[in-house]
Amino acid sequence: MDPIKQDGSAAVNGRKRAMELLAKASTEELQAGWQAIKAKPKVHAVRGPESGLVMVRGRIGGGGDAFNLGEATVSRATVRLGSGEIGHGQLLGNDRERARLAAVFDALRQRPDHRQAVDALVDAVESRVAAEDRKRAEQTAATRVDFFTMVRGDD
């Protein structure tokens, strides 16, 4: 692969990962992240924050063709920093302020001077989510059935 493309897809992957973790960040995490930013840029609302719906699709039989399962509430926002960067935030639920903050961090992450702070926040969210997932997986694993065969006294 040519290096420019590779860089491009790495940048896309980095942004995608950050956006997805920002969608999982709690209000407290986002607000703390915002407080931690010293030189706060001006933030202009471009779209929203607003709430709406996404039609969630499933697949027939689990892996077949798509069908419409039902809708979910979604909140989204688009912001522009004073320096011009556009950020998008979108997440499940009705919490428009969370969506706005997620958009702010998506925009901040595009600025080299803020990249590190945003990535620190994103990494922290990732480890919290991973820890919660592990805990739940371990609780489920404890309910795994270990079958054993009864020895019949036939003789």
Nearest in space to 116 (alpha carbons), one of 43, 14, 4, 13: 14
Segment interacting with other proteins, rule: CB under 8 A, options 28-36, 85-93, 111-119, 120-128: 85-93
Residue 7 binds to other proteins (criterion: CB under 8 A): no
Residue 84 binds to other proteins (criterion: CB under 8 A): no
Helix (H, G, I), strand (E, B) or coil at 86: strand
Whole-number Å distance between alpha carbons of 142 and 56: 31
Residue 44 binds to other proteins (criterion: CB under 8 A): no
Residue 4 binds to other proteins (criterion: CB under 8 A): no
Q: Which of 14, 15, 80, 124 binds other proteins (CB under 8 A)?
A: 15
Length of the chain: 155
Q: Which of 70, 84, 112, 153 binds other proteins (CB under 8 A)?
A: 70
Whole-number Å distance between alpha carbons of 118 and 115: 5
Helix (H, G, I), strand (E, B) or coil at 51: strand
Segment interacting with other proteins, rule: CB under 8 A, options 26-34, 35-43, 115-123, 133-141: 133-141
- Preceding omega of 41 cis (within 30 degrees of 0): no
Site residues for other proteins per CB under 8 A: 12, 15-16, 19-20, 23-24, 50-74, 76, 88, 90-94, 133-145, 147
